Amino acid sequence: MSKTFTARRALSAGIAAFAALVFAAACSDDSGEEGNDMDSMESESATDAEFNDADVTFAQMMIPHHEQAVDMAELAQGQAADAEVIALADEIAAAQQPEIDQMTALLEEWGQPLEMEGHEGMSMGGMATEEQMTELGAAQGADFDKLFVELMIAHHEGAITMAEEHHAEGQNADAAAIATAVIDAQTAEIATLQEIQARL
């Protein structure tokens, strides 16, 4: 009886030890998988936040570009005569101010300055000159409408070119989404502006 009892105790101890080993291995695997999942999430988060010089340049240049468009659109409220010009100016301001805010937030997130040093020498296509802005600011009625449409078509074309250049060189997903929004919205607005221009 003693030998049988001893054998049974040894067998039970062996089973218990084996179970403990299996449990420990399973815990180790789960921990490893959890660690891998965390690493993957951190990697994806880092990828989303990645940016390059083209992303920074796009945001730094598009902000003042959009700001001028908003300034032009705000002038229309008191100086335009054409109802469609006034309505489109409202749409332009409503679309571009949020994009300014988004690009400002991106630059702050990246730890980059909001303004590019020496950006005056950089090409921001379609920007109205100081003389043109002064002329627009002094225009009223039909004269304002015609000049606004002319300047805004060129302004939008320049913004689309900048957005397309970002698609070719940038890497940040948020900046790319803004560039796509610029291309889509402003291409449609150019078509409307050209229709208005044809009847003014």
Q: What is the DSSP string of 94-144?
A: HHHHHHHHHHHHHHHHHT--SS-TTGGGS--TTPPPHHHHHHHHH--HHHH
pLDDT at 113 over 80: yes
In this structure, what DSSP letter does residue 80 have? B
Tens digit of pLDDT for each residue in 10-48?
434 444 444 444 444 444 444 444 445 545 444 444 445
pLDDT for the residue numbered 124: 82
Q: What pTM was estimated for this model as a whole?
A: 0.75
Per-residue CA distances from 190 to 78, 89, 123, 179, 183 (Å): 22, 12, 21, 16, 10
Percent of the chain with pLDDT over 90: 70
Mean pLDDT of the chain: 83
Q: Does 195 or 119 have the greater pLDDT score?
A: 195
